[in-house]
Amino acid sequence: MTPTRLLQWFDQKGWKAYDFQRACWEAVLRGESGLLCAPTGFGKTYALYLPLLLQLLERGHTLSKGQLRLIWITPLRALTADLEKAMREAAASLGLSIRIETRTGDTDAGTKLRQRQALPEVLLTTPESLNLLLSRPGWETQIENLSMVVVDEWHELLGNKRGVLIELALAILKHKISHLQLWGISATIGNIEEALAVLHGNLNQKHVLIQSNEQKQLKIETLIPEAIEHFPWAGHLGLKMLDQLLPLLQNAKTTLIFTNTRGQAEIWYQRLLEREPALAGLIAIHHGSLDQEIRAWVEASLHAGKLKAVVCTSSLDLGVDFRPVEQVIQIGSPKGVARFMQRAGRSGHQPGALSTIYLAPTHALELLESAALKSAIEAGEFESREPIVLAYDVLLQFMMTLACGGGFSPDELFVVIKSSFAYQEIERQEFDWCVNFLLHGGKSLEAYDEYKKAGLIQGKVLPANKSVALRHRMSIGTIVGDTNLIIEFINGTRLGQIEEYFISSLKPGDHFWFAGRALEFVRIREMKVQVRKSAAPQGKVPSWMGGRMPLSSQLSAYMREKCDMASQGLLEGVEMASLEGLLERQAKVSAIPARDELLIEYVQSSEGYHLFVFPFEGRLVHEGMAALFAYRISKYRAISFSIAMNDYGFELLSDQEIAMEESLIRELCSTANLRDDILQSLNATEMARRQFGEICRVAGLVFQGYPGAPIRTKHLKASSHLLFDVFYTYDPQNLLMKQALDQALQLQLDESRMRLALMRIQSQKIILRFIERPTPFCFPIMADRLREKMSSESLADKLKKMVEAAVAD
């Protein structure tokens, strides 16, 4: 088969096929699998979808209608609507009458029912909905004629547990259909070869990497605060830039304003309207907690060019094609090159168009980050996405999914699992532990046990009863947060979702902001928060957990370079030049560390003794180093610390003086006994505890409940903290506990990056400065109220000190 017909079709449309499109067409028609890496806006969909249409056209007469041929997986539900439309148009234009439908969590019940009877030829879906498909008996028959699976935006899924969920689903599909063609689509990332390998697992099949040579034209401009001398040293909202940003909106038909958190988006939306009431009706807000209908309305208005601007979060990061968007404004550091480029690509989506992005800092040192970001982009340094391996929680979830979907035989599944990248190293013993955990709930041979989840019937693992299966289907997926409550008006109109802990801080009658509106909290009824409109000008803004991304190691390295240059007085570029006053001050009252130096600042305040260390390694590494330092100091004496960190450095705050000298610092930075010391430090346990929450939800140990459920499900609620304590005490050998610790060390602490950082520090000169008051470097850390703690003092000692302090007052 040749792609001649596709070329003709392109000609008719007046388009020219890119080299990568032709390469894909040929590879797909040859029956190959692979990965396509090309910038957004160059027609990646057509590269992989059109040859499938061609196959259908040419073989069409031999195939029966109404059977699934193509599964197209996207990470975001928002992406499916556009894709569906483009795919339908192409099919119609080529004279092919097939069903092309979406199946996500938002699909209505009627469509779902119809799809359960007969799937369409082309199914657009998410990783979670694909797994749901596998949880219904009879799925094997439904996929009999499947010939191709495409995973769109693979770079977004690689590196998190949703990616693992995909790997497992693909492994079982390939096991059932030997000639299945499998393709991924990815943006540029640092480890594209690995991305290809992860997608295809370790089956010895031929797969190709197709990379486009097309370059996106990009214009990046940092907004330099007009009153730089008054620009704040700390903060993350960036509202000081509001007045400078407003006029920019006039330069473009439509602007996307990206913020880093949902709370920040709410605040910006509110302030933009306050400052410029004429924007009412012309701007909108979009984030992941808003109700699907609200988001759909915003997206439709964006398409139609009805909006001047949309304040959004990562919810609009991905490849939706909004043609009217001509420029992007990023508020606050994007913390990574890849994320920044992705957001920049949201503007000028047409092939060959210019992408324009403005970067608005939220505090002074972010100008240094902007300078680092620009250098990193110039050098083409993209971050890698490290794939997750041996996630037992995802495996347990997947096993239960297959159990619900007609059952599985452990021996057969073991072979399938081993063929995936994520589990190629799994031992039979570990696999059996997982099966056993489903069947018996851990090592339990107690006579009085009533554990019921799955049973073994004629060699197949099946769910113990219908309600277990129902609960499992309701909790499939790995994107998890705190318990979410639905927010709605009293008349039932939904606004979105909010985390329970925020609502628990409100009393009826309190006012808050959500979905860009002022609301009054009325009551909670059946997992729903009922609200009414409020006229109050003031109100709380919800803060959602998470969302604080660490500075990538690529950007961190460039930050250190910028510092090194600043230490020599070299201020290249507008960003660095604008910081002249601030850097001079830092150099005068403390120091700016050169490449071979580590800066440490020590200051006494009314709160106690503050030790600041500036490795410039990103907040995760700093968190681990801070805990390590605290632990190593506390080995010598009983002492308590509170710990804070940002992307530049960390702080240890204690009520006791620490005798600071170079020899002590050298000892604290030693890599000897590193792993033991990390494990011993309270923080390793604390971090494992935090990881355990997600693991519990993925593995099905925490059930989130469902609206309108009978009251008894309430008795199935336990916080993951409580579960952690119970497992920690009574079943520490549990593989999920092992996973929690591994995740804490690898993902959160980033042990290997920390080891490298400590080794680098060992060769550095230590610059210890006793300072009188906070410097531009340490101020943002000091201002951070979110703190960890670490203590080797007894409660009695702490109480004694507290009494002394209280009496002294």
Partner 1 sequence: MQGQLEFHWGGNHWVLDASGACYLPDYKSLIISDFHVGKVQHFRKHGIAIPIAAARANLTKLEWVIARYNPKRLIFLGDLFHSDVNTEFELLQQVRTVHPSLEMLLVPGNHDLYSLQSQAGLFSLTPLQYHLGGMVFQHLPPDGEVVKPTIHGHWHPAYSLYAKARQKTRLACFAFSANVGVMPAFGLFTGKADLPEKPKWQHIFLLSKEGIQHLPPVLLR
Interface with partner 1 (CB under 8 A): 437, 441-442, 444, 446, 448-454, 464, 467-468, 471-472, 607-609, 640-642, 653-655, 700-703, 712, 715-716, 718-719, 722-723, 726-727, 729-731, 734, 787, 789, 791, 794-796, 798-799, 801-803, 805-807
Nearest CB to partner 1, comparing residues 516 and 693: 693
Nearest CB to partner 1, comparing residues 268 and 727: 727
**Three-state DSSP class for residue 631:** helix
* Rounded distance between C-alpha atoms, residue 618 and residue 403, angstroms: 42
CB 207 within 8 A of CB 33: yes
* Rounded distance between C-alpha atoms, residue 317 and residue 153, angstroms: 11
* Rounded distance between C-alpha atoms, residue 45 and residue 567, angstroms: 48
The minimum distance between CB 447 and partner 1, in angstroms, equals: 8
Cβ atoms within 10 Å of 99's Cβ, excluding its own: 18
Nearest CB to partner 1, comparing residues 448 and 491: 448
- Edge-first strand listing for the sheet containing 494-499: 494-499, 484-489, 528-533, 517-525, 511-514
* Rounded distance between C-alpha atoms, residue 365 and residue 311, angstroms: 24
Nearest CB to partner 1, comparing residues 411 and 607: 607
The minimum distance between CB 594 and partner 1, in angstroms, equals: 32
Nearest CB to partner 1, comparing residues 318 and 391: 391
CB 641 within 8 A of CB 630: yes
Nearest CB to partner 1, comparing residues 444 and 568: 444
The minimum distance between CB 638 and partner 1, in angstroms, equals: 13
Token pair of 341 as six digits: 């480029």
The minimum distance between CB 18 and partner 1, in angstroms, equals: 51
Beta strand segments in 401-459, E: 454-457
The minimum distance between CB 669 and partner 1, in angstroms, equals: 23
Measured in whole angstroms, the distance separating CA 389 from the mean position of its chain's CA atoms is: 17
The minimum distance between CB 332 and partner 1, in angstroms, equals: 25
CB 615 within 8 A of CB 757: yes
Q: HSE (CB half, 13 Å, CA atoms) of 421?
A: 20
Which long-range contacts link 704-713 to residues 24+ away (Cβ below 8 Å)? 704/474, 704/475, 704/483, 704/484, 705/483, 705/527, 706/474, 706/527, 707/486, 707/526, 707/527, 707/528, 708/526, 708/527
The minimum distance between CB 135 and partner 1, in angstroms, equals: 15
Burial class (CB in 10 A: 0-12, 13-18, 19+), 476: buried
The minimum distance between CB 698 and partner 1, in angstroms, equals: 13
Nearest CB to partner 1, comparing residues 113 and 796: 796
The minimum distance between CB 682 and partner 1, in angstroms, equals: 12
Burial class (CB in 10 A: 0-12, 13-18, 19+), 507: exposed
Buried b (16+ CB within 10 A) or exposed e, 717-733: eeebeebbeebbeeeee
Kind of pairing between the strands at 517-525 and 528-533: antiparallel
Tell me the torsion sign for CA atoms 525, 529, 535, 536. Answer: positive
**Three-state DSSP class for residue 15:** coil
Helical (H) or strand (E) element with 634: helix 619-634
The minimum distance between CB 82 and partner 1, in angstroms, equals: 39
Nearest CB to partner 1, comparing residues 489 and 728: 728
Nearest CB to partner 1, comparing residues 325 and 653: 653
The minimum distance between CB 619 and partner 1, in angstroms, equals: 18
Nearest CB to partner 1, comparing residues 460 and 798: 798
The minimum distance between CB 1 and partner 1, in angstroms, equals: 50
**Three-state DSSP class for residue 107:** coil
Kind of pairing between the strands at 511-514 and 517-525: antiparallel
Nearest CB to partner 1, comparing residues 439 and 589: 439
Nearest CB to partner 1, comparing residues 209 and 439: 439
Nearest CB to partner 1, comparing residues 50 and 639: 639
Beta strand segments in 566-669, E: 597-605, 608-614, 640-645, 650-654
Nearest CB to partner 1, comparing residues 566 and 603: 603
Report which residue type is found at 521: F
The minimum distance between CB 798 and partner 1, in angstroms, equals: 6
The minimum distance between CB 785 and partner 1, in angstroms, equals: 8
The minimum distance between CB 442 and partner 1, in angstroms, equals: 5
Nearest CB to partner 1, comparing residues 303 and 453: 453
The minimum distance between CB 794 and partner 1, in angstroms, equals: 6
Cβ atoms within 10 Å of 526's Cβ, excluding its own: 12
The minimum distance between CB 262 and partner 1, in angstroms, equals: 26
Nearest CB to partner 1, comparing residues 117 and 606: 606
CA Rg value for the chain: 28
The minimum distance between CB 481 and partner 1, in angstroms, equals: 19
Nearest CB to partner 1, comparing residues 642 and 764: 642
Q: What is the DSSP string of 670-721?
A: --TTHHHHHHHSHHHHHHHHHHHHHHHHHHTSS----TT--GGGGGG---HH
* Rounded distance between C-alpha atoms, residue 462 and residue 470, angstroms: 13
- Cα distances from 225 to residues 239, 257, 574, in angstroms, run 11, 17, 11
Buried b (16+ CB within 10 A) or exposed e, 621-657: bbbbbbbbbbbbbbeeeebbbbbbbbbbbbbbbbbee
Nearest CB to partner 1, comparing residues 415 and 802: 802
Q: HSE (CB half, 13 Å, CA atoms) of 177?
A: 21
At which residue do the structure tokens 């330069």 appear?
Answer: 251
Residue 185: CB partners within 8 Å, gap ≥ 6?
Answer: 35, 36, 37, 38, 44, 48, 150, 151, 152, 153, 154
